Amino acid sequence: MSKIVGIDLGTTHSLVAMVDSGIPLVVADGEGRRLTPSVVHFPGLDQPTWVGVPANHVRALHPATTIYSIKRFMGRRCEELGEKDRQVDYPLNSQGLVKVPVHGREYLPEEISAEVLAKLRRDVSESLGEPVTRAVITVPAYFNDAQRSATKRAGELAGFQVERILNEPTAAALAYGLDKLGETARVAVYDLGGGTFDLSILELKQGVFQVIATHGDTRLGGDDLDQRLVDYLWGIICHEWARQNPGKPQLEIHPGLRARLREAAEQAKIKLSSDTGVDLALPFLVPGFSFQHHLTRDVLEQLTHDLIARTRPLCLQALADARLQTSDLDQVILVGGQTRMPLVRRFVADLFQCVEFSETRGNLRLGHDPHKSGGPALNVSQNPDEAVALGAAIQAEILAGGLNNLLLLDVTPLSLGLETFGGLMNVLIPRNSTIPVKAGELFTTAVDQQKSMLVHVLQGERERARDNWSLGRFTIEFAPAARGLARVGVQFEIDANGILHVLARDIQTGRQTTVDMRSAVDVDDGAVQQMVEESVENAFTDLAIRRWVESRLKAEATLAATREGLAACTDLDGEYRRQVQAAAKEVEEALATETEDRGNGDLPRLKASISSLDEITRPLADRLMDQAMEAMLKQRGII
């Protein structure tokens, strides 16, 4: 059996690791480099790509053909991208799935990621002296189905059999050796990398991991800090240029210049993690103009502190979801290159009220202190950017049977459900459910002689179907039958990779349709964080919408039954018929107060009118029931 390796496919860097004689190690490439920049350069049509460091070197020179941060676009559609997302130095297409046009060909993000993965595969095969074909690949906990599927495809394109798609924070906790704690412990994993942020809360019980809550932002990371610095420096550069060149036209930024500035900004940012000041020099930035500037850590912190502060509500939300307070946590671990920044460490220590925190201590501290009082301990690693890859290698070894006393349990980041009558979301698998998971529900038809049912699969936290993301839709057909008779069972199954499989079965005939959401790359996945925030922000409105829509459905059903009753009982007392009609009219009028978006109206009036109509039609309903009984008894020859 071939070795299984662990891969951290990062936004800025990727790493491959494996367990060798029981020890997880990051594998270096032929030149001894452990971190491979996730950058691919296409020198020309049908020419071999350059991957990693050489590609990174020509990024400023060939911005349009050197692709970086591709992870941001995995499994995403152009329509979902904000202006900020599109801020890359290479072009993107404008419709459908995000693609990158290079030398007249359009590449999917997974095809570009596959180039990075293929390089890692070559490196590790060379290092081992045998071909490596199996891998565990990590993704941010917030990646949705389409993003996970795209990652898996990238692995397959690179020639790997992808054994598991693993959440990054879970991998990190494994790397920090937290499974060795052996007793009940709760850990927060704060992961700020190049392009994504995740906060996950894990619970450990006798060496078993369970992710009990997770929150994140797929669009927040070190790249954003770099961008802030670029904007700031560009402002100074323009000012300086104007001062030195009075009367000349303003400087214009172009992709090559931006790429060069970004590189300088990132290097300055990294340096400011260990130094309090840095001298920036950009000779011959434009012909005849060089730029020098002294940048301090204080300025960097002022420019970026609000970006770091954006992680606060996400951390608090995860704690609230887990029903925990900071004092319930035993440890907070830091993952991702950006957590080396002193501001980030101070921020996390402060937010989680960590009791043990020293900015100078850079060593990895394992184990937890049973005598601690107050808040959790902050656990920092010298190489926070290696933790995920090392954890993936440990998971790979577990799968290969090398380490067997550990079980991994992950959770769903967002609720999954179906659209039901009235355009509401019916949740089948709630957010933060442990995966793998299966859940099902039976649905009946709403209309007589209905022949098919639309299964519309949704992901999100909002009450109204249209406010959630549509993962896909398909139709199941069945033999026409009276309303409520045809029944369709729908089952959702999320496998260990977090990929959703939907099955719909006609109960009568057993005929079933299975849709593997892996192929449904046409997924509307906006920002997960935004979704959760919106659901919190709109909680009251959403509740009002649900109440209104449910009341409307009830009103419509009661009105339909009333009309049927009035038509069936032709001999009703005239005065009673008028009373029923008046009550029905009042329901119709209350329904007419519905707002244009069909999400609200005069709810108290509608409810009062339904209950009056219910009340007044009770004798009518009794009569209909008697008539039905009589007909049935006659039919059976009893009377």
* Contacting residues toward ligand AMP, per CB under 6 A: 10-13, 193-194, 222-223, 266, 269-270, 273, 336-338, 340-341, 385
Q: Are strands 4-9 and 13-20 parallel, antiparallel or unpaired?
A: antiparallel
**The two structure tokens encoding residue 29:** 């490439």
Our CB check for ligand AMP shows the closer of 269 and 431 to be: 269
Known catalytic residue at 71 = yes
Q: CB of residue 191 vs ligand AMP: minimum separation in angstroms?
A: 8
The H or E element containing residue 255 is helix 255-271
Is the separation of the CB atoms in 415 and 366 below 8 Å?
no
Is the separation of the CB atoms in 4 and 136 below 8 Å?
yes
How far, in Å, CA of 456 to CA of 475, rounded? 8
Known catalytic residue at 533 = no
How far, in Å, CA of 459 to CA of 437, rounded? 15
Is the separation of the CB atoms in 14 and 337 below 8 Å?
no
For residue 118, how many C-alpha atoms fall within 13 Å in the half-sphere facing its CB?
Answer: 18
Our CB check for ligand AMP shows the closer of 142 and 492 to be: 142
How far, in Å, CA of 370 to CA of 284, rounded? 58
Our CB check for ligand AMP shows the closer of 388 and 613 to be: 388
Q: How far is CA 425 from CA 30, 54, 465, 466, 633, in A?
A: 53, 49, 5, 8, 42
Is the separation of the CB atoms in 305 and 343 below 8 Å?
yes
Q: CB of residue 486 vs ligand AMP: minimum separation in angstroms?
A: 51
Q: CB of residue 133 vs ligand AMP: minimum separation in angstroms?
A: 25
Our CB check for ligand AMP shows the closer of 216 and 336 to be: 336
Our CB check for ligand AMP shows the closer of 223 and 397 to be: 223
Instruction: Give the active site residue among 123, 163, 191, 217.
Output: 191
**The two structure tokens encoding residue 313:** 């509500």
Q: CB of residue 24 vs ligand AMP: minimum separation in angstroms?
A: 17
Q: CB of residue 288 vs ligand AMP: minimum separation in angstroms?
A: 31
Q: How far is CA 597 from CA 62, 315, 338, 425, 550, in A?
A: 49, 34, 44, 16, 15
How far, in Å, CA of 65 to CA of 43, rounded? 7
Residue nearest to ligand AMP (CB): 222
3-state secondary structure of 414: coil
Q: CB of residue 336 vs ligand AMP: minimum separation in angstroms?
A: 4
Our CB check for ligand AMP shows the closer of 297 and 552 to be: 297
Q: From the CB of residue 367, how many other CB atoms can be counted at a distance below 10 Å? A: 14
Instruction: Give the active site residue among 3, 29, 71, 99.
Output: 71
Our CB check for ligand AMP shows the closer of 273 and 433 to be: 273
Q: How far is CA 22 from CA 267, 451, 568, in A?
A: 35, 59, 80
Q: CB of residue 73 vs ligand AMP: minimum separation in angstroms?
A: 16
Is the separation of the CB atoms in 338 and 364 below 8 Å?
no
Instruction: Give the active site residue among 123, 168, 179, 461.
Output: 168
Our CB check for ligand AMP shows the closer of 33 and 487 to be: 33
Our CB check for ligand AMP shows the closer of 29 and 266 to be: 266
3-state secondary structure of 330: coil
How far, in Å, CA of 260 to CA of 57, rounded? 10
* Residues in the chain, overall count: 639
How far, in Å, CA of 296 to CA of 347, rounded? 19
Beta-bridge partner residues of 294? 279
How far, in Å, CA of 68 to CA of 115, rounded? 12
Q: CB of residue 10 vs ligand AMP: minimum separation in angstroms?
A: 4
Our CB check for ligand AMP shows the closer of 10 and 63 to be: 10
Q: CB of residue 169 vs ligand AMP: minimum separation in angstroms?
A: 12
Q: CB of residue 338 vs ligand AMP: minimum separation in angstroms?
A: 4
Among positive and negative, which fits the CA dihedral 435, 441, 446, 452?
Answer: positive
How far, in Å, CA of 576 to CA of 557, rounded? 21
DSSP-assigned letter for residue 97 = B
Helices marked H in 499-602 — which ranges? 528-537, 539-568, 574-591
Q: CB of residue 593 vs ligand AMP: minimum separation in angstroms?
A: 53
Whether the bond into 436 is cis, omega within 30 of 0: yes
Our CB check for ligand AMP shows the closer of 270 and 409 to be: 270
How far, in Å, CA of 102 to CA of 602, rounded? 56
Q: From the CB of residue 619, how many other CB atoms can be counted at a distance below 10 Å? A: 14
Among positive and negative, which fits the CA dihedral 148, 154, 155, 157?
Answer: positive
How far, in Å, CA of 581 to CA of 578, rounded? 5
Residues designated as active site: 8, 71, 168, 191
